[in-house]
């Protein structure tokens, strides 16, 4: 491996035309720069500078090395500049259900990133139970989850109205077994849906499983079956509340974080404000703690 310090001495000698001038540019003695050139020549096994020439000039081998040496030094300079830049050097890890990642929240994140360029926001979407488990294991700094009731260490929590939805053009009651449109195993709505329909002593089967809220809503809209969904997420879809099953008890959307100050605290405040506006528009109130 060629030492960049030795390459810099070689390139500077060529550019300056003399050992004395090169030593001045690099703020070292002439003997030191001569030693560095000698070490480089020993490493490559070639004479690189015609010392008797005035001004000194590279040998044929030196000319071949010169372009590569300049590129190596340029890459070293770029790497040092990159490492000295603080942009994106620290991360805030955030876990969210996919329907929480709205355009409004993304704009808030963009504003935060513009103000704090040294911070990178690493956002992961997924099912609430998995997100909660990973947060408790220390994988996230901030998490938003949907749950039956909020834990005592929540930063803020909002009630979320949920109900049973079907395609708007569905005609009549659903026959047994009732087709269901569900989230994957472990999904909060999925288990609540099964519990309710079994209390009704109705037979059922899963007709469609979707990994995102949009995929589930599109399937319901297409008439594939019934599904338990948040009321606030259905407005833009051609679905309606099923009269037989109707509403379920509210769930809650809760925010958790390990820290309440600094950059993480700012992110929590942004998420809280976005969710507060969202649920206020749905007639829901907020519960929070300091």
How is the chain classified by DSSP, letter by letter?
---HHHHHHHHHHHHHSSHHHHHHHTTS-HHHHHHHHHHHHHHHTS--EETTSSS-EE-HHHHHHHHHHHHHHHHHHHHHHHHH--TT-EEEEEEE-GGG--HHHHHHHHHHHHH-TTEEEEEEE--HHHHHHHHHTTS-SEEEEEESS--TT-SEEEEEEEEEEEETT--SPPPSSEEEEEPPTT-HHHHHHHHHHHHTT--EEEEEE-SSHHHHHHHHHTTS-BEEEEGGG-TTSSEEE-TTT-EEEEEEEEEEES-SSHHHHHHHHHHHHHHHHHHHTTT---EE--
Question: What per-residue confidence (pLDDT) applies to 175?
Answer: 85
For each of the chain's 290 residues, which pLDDT tens digit applies? 789 999 999 999 999 999 999 999 999 999 999 999 999 999 999 999 999 888 999 999 999 999 999 999 888 888 887 776 666 568 999 999 988 988 999 999 999 998 988 889 999 998 898 999 999 999 999 999 999 999 999 999 999 999 999 999 987 788 889 999 998 888 888 888 999 988 988 899 999 999 888 899 999 999 999 999 998 889 889 999 999 899 999 999 999 999 888 999 999 999 999 999 988 876 555 454 54
Q: Where are the domains of the chain?
A: 4-84, 90-159+252-288, 161-249
pLDDT at 76: 86
Query: Given this model, what pLDDT does residue 267 score?
Result: 95
pLDDT score for 290: 46
Q: Give me the CATH topology for the region 4-84.
A: Arc Repressor Mutant, subunit A (1.10.10)
CATH fold label, 90-159+252-288: D-Maltodextrin-Binding Protein; domain 2 (3.40.190)
Same fold, 4-84 and 161-249: no
| pLDDT for the residue 88 | 54
How much is the pTM?
A: 0.66
Question: Which fold would CATH assign to domain 161-249?
Answer: D-Maltodextrin-Binding Protein; domain 2 (3.40.190)
């Amino acid at each position: 491996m060629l030492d960049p310090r030795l390459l810099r001495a070689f390139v500077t000698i060529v550019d300056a035309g003399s050992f004395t001038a090169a030593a001045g540019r690099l703020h070292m003695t002439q003997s030191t720069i001569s030693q560095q050139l000698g070490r480089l020549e020993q490493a490559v096994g070639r004479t690189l500078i015609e010392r008797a020439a005035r001004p000194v000039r590279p040998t044929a081998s030196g000319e071949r090395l010169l372009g590569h040496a300049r590129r190596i030094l340029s890459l070293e300079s770029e790497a040092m500049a990159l490492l000295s830049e603080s942009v994106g050097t620290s991360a805030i890890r955030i876990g969210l259900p996919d329907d929480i990642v709205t355009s409004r929240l993304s704009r808030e994140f963009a504003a935060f990133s513009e103000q704090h360029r040294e911070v990178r926001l690493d956002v992961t979407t997924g099912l609430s139970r998995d997100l909660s488990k990973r947060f408790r294991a220390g994988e996230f700094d901030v998490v938003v989850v949907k749950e039956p009731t909020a834990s005592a260490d929540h930063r803020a929590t909002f009630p979320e109205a949920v109900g049973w939805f079907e395609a708007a053009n569905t005609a009549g009651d659903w026959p047994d077994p009732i087709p269901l449109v569900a989230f994957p195993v472990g999904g909060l709505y999925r288990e609540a849906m099964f519990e309710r329909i079994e209390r009704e002593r109705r037979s059922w089967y899963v007709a469609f499983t979707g990994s995102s809220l949009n995929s589930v809503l599109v399937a319901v809209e297409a008439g594939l079956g019934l599904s338990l969904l948040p009321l606030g997420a259905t407005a833009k879809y051609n679905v309606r509340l099923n009269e037989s099953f109707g509403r379920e008890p509210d769930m809650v959307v809760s925010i958790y974080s390990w820290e309440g100050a600094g950059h993480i605290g700012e992110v929590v405040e942004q998420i809280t404000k976005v969710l507060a506006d969202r649920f206020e528009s749905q007639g829901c109130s907020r519960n929070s703690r300091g």
